[in-house]
Structure formats: C-alpha cells, structure tokens
A and B are shown apart, each in its own frame.
Chain A
Amino acid sequence: MSESVAIPLQHRPEPVRPKPLLSNGVLGMMIFIFTEVMIFAGFISAHAVVRSQAAGQMWPPFGQPRLPVQETALNTAALLVSGLVLVVAWFAFRKERSRARIPLLLSILLGAFFVYFQGLEWVALLGEGLTIQSSSYGGFFYLIVGAHAIHAVAALLALIWAGVRLNEGRLTRSELATVSAFWYFVVLVWPVLYIKVYL
C-alpha cells in the first residue's frame, strides 16, 4: 500500500498568474467606446440619409439659421489641443507622476473651454430660432451635438476626478489610461461630427 505525501498548505507554490494584457478599467472603457462609436455612426448615417432627401438638395433648409462654422472651428482646435496635451500628461506621468499635474490641468481647462463655448453656441442658436422641433436640421443638430456634449461633460468630470487623485498622490497608471481613453474618444469623434454637421 503506497503512502501519499501530503504537502502542507503553507508550502504549496503560489499559482503563477499570467500578466493581464490590459487593465479591467481600460478593457471596460474600450467596450464602452465601441458601443458609443456605433451610436454615433448610426446618428451620422441617419443624418446623411435625411440630408440627401432634403427638398431641392438645400441644406440647411430655407429659413433655418446657419451654424457658426468658424467659431466652432476654433473650439475644435481647442479640443484637439486638449487631447494632445493629455498625451503629454500621459508620458510625463510615466516618467514622474508629479510632472503630469500641469499638462493634465491644461487639458481639463481646454476641455472646459470647449464645453462652455458649446453651451454659449446653443444659447445663441436657440435665440435665433433653431430648436429640436424647428426642423430635421435642428433635430439632428441637437441630437448629435448634444450626445457628444453629454460625453464631453462626463469625460471632463472623469478628468477632474483623475486630477484630484493625482494631487492626492493616489492616481494609478491604469486609472489615468482609462480616463484618457474616454477623453481621446470625445476628442477624436468631434472632428467627424463637425465635418458632417457643420460643413
């Protein structure tokens, strides 16, 4: 009769866990971004079809106010610079965490400028009579730009949260990557929306 040798629990080797390919936060954010990309793709497609059906190919429709193309171009530039500054913040964070403070703050300020300016633009357009019910032109404008604005505000709040944690010295690399991915989505989807809706 053979005797089995029991290894005490405390001497058993720890199972080797493979290094994760990406953090849970980044993975979750990527899945979220995929779904959001499809939402915006649906909006853009519906907009393209309705625009192609416009009477006499006239877009914007007769009697509807024109969108502020040049002013929004400036705002678009601010948003793109915000994304670039966040890239700088990421590399600074990898070298020395405290170095990321200024670029992260700058990115937040540029993002806040974008959101504030968009709000001013909405107030002006509402004053000129462009509402969500005034025409399909107005409806699509508020739907698409409004959906982006909701994302911009949420991503901005996430950036502020990251900034607070960075100040407290508690921000992890994974958290910054997750929040940055959200902001990059907001930044990169905007030029597409600008070209389709404003031009």
Chain B
Amino acid sequence: MMRASIVMLLLLAFPDAGHACAVCFDSSDENRLAFMATTAFLTLLPLGMVTGAGLWLRKRVRQVKLEENDPDLLDN
C-alpha cells in the first residue's frame, strides 16, 4: 500500500499537458508566453526576496559581532 502510494505520488508529480488549460494551449503565443512569464515571476519573486533577506541578515549578524568585539567600529 505504501509503495503504491509513493508510485502514485511520483506519477502525479509529472502531469501531462491539459488540453483545456489556457496555460498549456492557446491560440495566441503572446498569451501563453505571458502566462509562463508571470508564473515564473510570481514563483521566483518571493524566493528571491527571502534569499535576499537571509543574505542581508547574515551580513548584519557579522557586522553586529564585529561591533561587539570592537566598540570603536560602532557607528553613531
């Protein structure tokens, strides 16, 4: 039962193109491109923001540690 569930989940992870789906099929190339571009944009934007925030926080942690070790580096 467990094995069958895993196989089913894997199969579901590779969906076929949906013939009634406006993203998969459309008479207009511009429309399909717009759907794909906005999907990529809306997927990557939050990931980019979270990554950016993480990198900034890491830099800030280093800066605070440096300031704690050498108080002269503290900016007023």
A-B contact count (CB 8 A): 47
Given contacts A21-B57, A30-B53, contact A52 B67 (CB under 8 A): no
A33: shortest Cβ distance to chain B, in Å? 9
- Please state if B30 and A57 are interface contacts (CB–CB under 8 Å): yes
Residue of A nearest to B68 (CB): A19
| B residues in contact with A51, CB < 8 Å | 34
B42: shortest Cβ distance to chain A, in Å? 6
A41 within 8 A of B: yes
- Please state if A37 and B49 are interface contacts (CB–CB under 8 Å): yes
| A residues in contact with B75, CB < 8 Å | 94
A37: shortest Cβ distance to chain B, in Å? 7
Write out, one digit per residue, whether chain A residues 23-43 have a CB within 8 A of any chain B CB (1) or not (0): 000000010001001100110
B52: shortest Cβ distance to chain A, in Å? 10
A48 within 8 A of B: yes
- Please state if B38 and A21 are interface contacts (CB–CB under 8 Å): no
- Please state if A37 and B45 are interface contacts (CB–CB under 8 Å): yes
- Please state if B35 and A49 are interface contacts (CB–CB under 8 Å): yes
B55 within 8 A of A: no
Residue of B nearest to A48 (CB): B34
- Please state if B45 and A41 are interface contacts (CB–CB under 8 Å): yes
B37 within 8 A of A: yes
Write out, one digit per residue, whether chain B residues 33-76 have a CB within 8 A of any chain A CB (1) or not (0): 11101100110011001000100010011001001100000011
Interface size on A, residues (CB 8 A): 20
B5 within 8 A of A: no
- Please state if A45 and B41 are interface contacts (CB–CB under 8 Å): yes
Given contacts A48-B37, A51-B34, A52-B30, contact A38 B46 (CB under 8 A): yes
- Please state if A49 and B31 are interface contacts (CB–CB under 8 Å): yes
A22 within 8 A of B: yes
Complex A-B: 25 CB contacts under 8 Å: A18-B64, A19-B68, A21-B60, A37-B49, A38-B42, A38-B46, A41-B42, A41-B45, A42-B42, A44-B41, A45-B41, A46-B38, A48-B34, A48-B37, A48-B38, A49-B31, A49-B34, A52-B28, A52-B30, A52-B33, A52-B34, A53-B31, A53-B34, A57-B30, A94-B75
Q: Which residues of A contact B (CB under 8 A)?
A: 18-19, 21-22, 30, 34, 37-38, 41-42, 44-46, 48-49, 51-53, 57, 94
